[in-house]
Structure 1
Amino acid sequence: MDCPCLRWHWHLGSPKAHDMIRRVSNRIKAKLSVLISLPSAQEIPAITQGFCNLAESFALDHVAGAIDGCHIRIQAPGNQHQTDYINYKLFPSIQMQAICDARARFLDVFVGFPGSVHDARVLLPGPVPAGYYLLGDGAYTCLESLIDILTPYKQPLRGRVQERFNTHHARAHFVVERAFGMMKSRRRATLSKALEVSPTFAPDLITCCAFLHNLCISMDDELEELDEVPNAADPQISPPVGGQERPGNHIRDTIAARLSAPIRVSQHLNAHDYL
């Protein structure tokens, strides 16, 4: 359910309601880390287990979160910067990049880049715990650096090993898309149309929506959501991007090999060179 003060703003648009929204958003921002924070060492095991369950494989046992971006529609500013907010779908928006866990709970959010900025350029999350990585879609680059991101293999795929990896990857990564969808559904009165606030205040409002989404999850507030798992071959899931991938491919290749390896080998096969 939307916050009443948000509904008052959209229906009445009064200065008093607008001031109320700003006061509420400031209080939420002050408490943001209570519900939105990167996992601690104690929380990591539960998160990795959750992603193994989503992927239906223990090969993805070092996933600390799923990262993606979405566009929140706004009213473009009436100045020389308005074209900066026009995204690839040709409507004005602000970028929201987020990391979520297997429960669709936001662990990290960054809001504010104009819609024309590519997802991969927004990359500003906090550090991932050593030895763990994030799942990203094909808009990102497979990285092994300060921020480890594991992406799908690009099309065309080379054999069943890469195809199988992309399938399991898509099952686990889809949770961040569900998180965005759930947040927008919970705040439908606010996010179903262009935000009627300035682009400088919109990031605060969107971040508050993410906070309230996490609050609902922490209180076990049920919400009907899409259970459809995306097709790993869908170009929207793994679009080709230009440029050379930076080191990180060997991690993906190792996990792909684990996904395709038999869990248990029959005894009679060990006497031959079949494997």
Structure 2
Amino acid sequence: MDPGHSLEFPLKRETEGVLLLPSINQENSNLAAFSRTNDEDFLSLDPLMDIKIEPEEFCESNEDDECSYEINSTVNEKHPQACKKEVKQERRNSHNGEKLFRSTVSPCQNFMLTDSELCCVIIAVAASRKKGKKKGSQKGRKWAKQWFIDREKFTHEKLLNELRVIEPNDFRNFVRVNGELFDELLALVAPEIEKRNTIMRDAIPVSQRLSITLQYLATGNSFEDLKFLTAVSPQSIGHIVMETCTALINCLKEYIKVPTTSQEWKQIAQDFYDQWNYPNCLGSINGKHVAIKKPDNSGSLYFNYKKFFSIVMMAVSNANYEFMMVDVGVNGRVSDGGVISYTKFGQALAGNTLGIPEPTQLPNSQKILPFVFLGDDAFGLTENVMKPYPQSALNVKRRIFNYRLSRARRVIENTFGILFSRFGVLQKPIALSPEKARIVALACCYLHNFLRKRHSRAYVTTQLVDCEDLQAGVITKGSWRDVVNEITPLPPNTTSRNATNNAKAVRETYSDFFNNEGQVSWQWKNVGAVGSANN
């Protein structure tokens, strides 16, 4: 190295940390350490060389101002193998009143500082400076907030335990299930969501994970709001909710299933006829929009005809306000009856692979008609999907058909109403990605069927759903309509206007049946006509 060779590089005064470098002592292959003590006043390279930077006087300016170091390497004439280093530190942009650092260096023996070795020193200082900046930016950060660590003091679990004993109705309102069903759900999902305690901290108990999720589904409160109730961080709540919803779907999968045998389909048809006076009906079909927050970089993909962002929930219900099929996730822009073609159910229906029974004779009639699903104007008319006659061409006969179909199809409207009124998360835009919103909505549907089967009377009261006074011809709207402002339906189908002649013939035959041998005494009063099927 040439005598008098020097290099200058910047360094923050608050630089801290340790960095390992190859030793520049040719007789020592160990690693050398660059370090700075916590008092921020001492810098050393050891065993590279004995360098000390000791402040003679301190700067009065901002401690974050940058300093520059100059390293000079000279050869000792008396000891050619020895090197004397002088380190001078001076402030950049110095001004009046600023004080300087003076550094002293003791000589190192038996080695010479080469250019490559000097570069190692510079790299060490630069890297340590960068590390010091990173540490400075994280100064004061905590691993966890203390009140999250002391979760047991502030958690909602204590309140729930009290409510379960002294106010069971309030407990049910909080998590939408009673204590017995909560324990049943807990036993089902525990194997999938339970976590182990670690030496760092105790895991959030399974019961709290389930109650947090049920509270979120029941209210739709944000994770930020729930943290004050549960003493759990919003990030953890997000993970807990998605994990528990997935577990609920997996554990309750038997509560929503499409019939697979002819006998199962016929039982559903019998229930519709007994309760809603529509023969050969296999289910009521409808779709609703589930509002979501606009997904990032999605443009208008999820923007529906009602001018908000959504995903579509398509469902088929039986006669007892229970879902037989639910499909969630089609973007809101695809918002007419064509949505059904995107579902596995719709594809199976079109491909005739649902196992639907063969056409059968109607009650008290010689007419033989196929089994059908009931939809509204959003769906196309087919041999297995009936829809109302258009309002523009109605007579008494067609109004009777529309009334009978509407009476049975109202089941799916009320099923959606119960679902949306019981689970508040569906009443406001879900602030999650479409994929996560889909999981949340599906979990609500599975819980709906679970509660409908296991706790029917408390979950679905007579006042909650629409009720019809048959003799007076008056329909009393269900109370769910007061809770839910609007459940956005699918718009009328504009792409499948041309039904086949066979489909039209099936609808016409059902219309003849309802106006003759299949009539009920109250139907004329409900359509404003008196006893004539031929008007």
Alignment partner of 1:34 is 2:251: no
Q: 1:157 to 1:239 in 2, by over 3 A?
A: farther
Alignment partner of 1:15 is 2:235: yes
Cα separation, 1, equivalents of 2:426 and 2:337: 24
Whether contact under 8 Å (1:154, 1:239) holds in the other structure is no
| Offset of residue 245 of structure 1 | 1.7
Whether contact under 8 Å (1:154, 1:240) holds in the other structure is no
Q: 1:238 to 1:95 in 2, by over 3 A?
A: closer
Cα separation, 2, equivalents of 1:86 and 1:169: 31
Of 397, 409, 415 in structure 2, the residue corresponding to residue 161 of structure 1 is 397
Q: 1:263 to 1:121 in 2, by over 3 A?
A: closer
- The one-letter amino acid paired with 1:130 is P
Tell me the equivalent position of 1:104.
321
Tell me the equivalent position of 1:212.
447
Whether contact under 8 Å (2:284, 2:373) holds in the other structure is yes
Cα separation, 2, equivalents of 1:222 and 1:32: 17
Tell me the equivalent position of 2:380.
141
Q: How does 1:34-73 map to 2 (within 5 A)?
A: 34-39=254-259, 40-55=261-276, 57=277, 60-73=278-291
- The one-letter amino acid paired with 2:376 is D
Whether contact under 8 Å (2:305, 2:335) holds in the other structure is no
Give me the identity figure in percent. Answer: 26
**Structure 1 gap ranges (5+):** 265-274
Of 265, 274, 293 in structure 2, the residue corresponding to residue 75 of structure 1 is 293
Tell me the equivalent position of 2:105.
none
Tell me the equivalent position of 1:245.
499
CA RMSD of aligned residues (A): 2.6
TM-score using structure 2 length = 0.44
Helix, strand or coil: the match of 2:325?
A: strand
Tell me the equivalent position of 1:191.
426
Cα separation, 2, equivalents of 1:262 and 1:193: 47
Cα separation, 1, equivalents of 2:491 and 2:307: 21
| Offset of residue 154 of structure 1 | 1.4
Cα separation, 2, equivalents of 1:237 and 1:206: 17
Alignment partner of 1:222 is 2:439: no
Whether contact under 8 Å (1:94, 1:114) holds in the other structure is yes
Q: 1:169 to 1:159 in 2, by over 3 A?
A: same
Tell me the equivalent position of 1:271.
none
- The one-letter amino acid paired with 1:250 is A
Whether contact under 8 Å (1:155, 1:238) holds in the other structure is no
Whether contact under 8 Å (1:184, 1:191) holds in the other structure is yes
| Offset of residue 74 of structure 1 | 0.5
Cα separation, 2, equivalents of 1:45 and 1:67: 17
Cα separation, 2, equivalents of 1:108 and 1:136: 14
- The one-letter amino acid paired with 1:142 is L
Helix, strand or coil: the match of 2:301?
A: helix
| Offset of residue 41 of structure 1 | 3.2
Which is bigger in relative contact order (C-alpha 8 A, separation at least 6)?
1
Helix, strand or coil: the match of 1:194?
A: coil
| Offset of residue 195 of structure 1 | 0.6
Helix, strand or coil: the match of 2:466?
A: coil
Name the count of aligned residue pairs.
Answer: 253
Please list every run of at least 4 consecutive aligned residues from structure 1 whose deviation after the TM superposition is greater than 6 angstroms.
Answer: none
| Offset of residue 158 of structure 1 | 3.8
Q: 1:111 to 1:18 in 2, by over 3 A?
A: same
- The one-letter amino acid paired with 1:202 is A
Cα separation, 2, equivalents of 1:135 and 1:252: 11
Cα separation, 1, equivalents of 2:439 and 2:409: 26
Q: Kindly provide the CA deviation profile for residues 25-61 of structure 1, in whole angstroms up to 9, marking residues without a partner as x.
A: 2222323530011124343343223322443x3xx31
- Higher mean displacement: 239-248 or 10-19: 239-248
Tell me the equivalent position of 1:150.
386
Cα separation, 2, equivalents of 1:214 and 1:21: 19
TM-score using structure 1 length = 0.82
**Structure 2 gap ranges (5+):** 1-174, 177-209, 228-233, 359-370, 469-473, 476-488, 520-533
Q: Whose strand proportion is higher, 1 or 2?
A: 2
Cα separation, 2, equivalents of 1:211 and 1:88: 28
- Higher mean displacement: 6-15 or 132-141: 6-15
- Higher mean displacement: 94-103 or 11-20: 11-20
Cα separation, 2, equivalents of 1:33 and 1:181: 22
Tell me the equivalent position of 1:272.
none
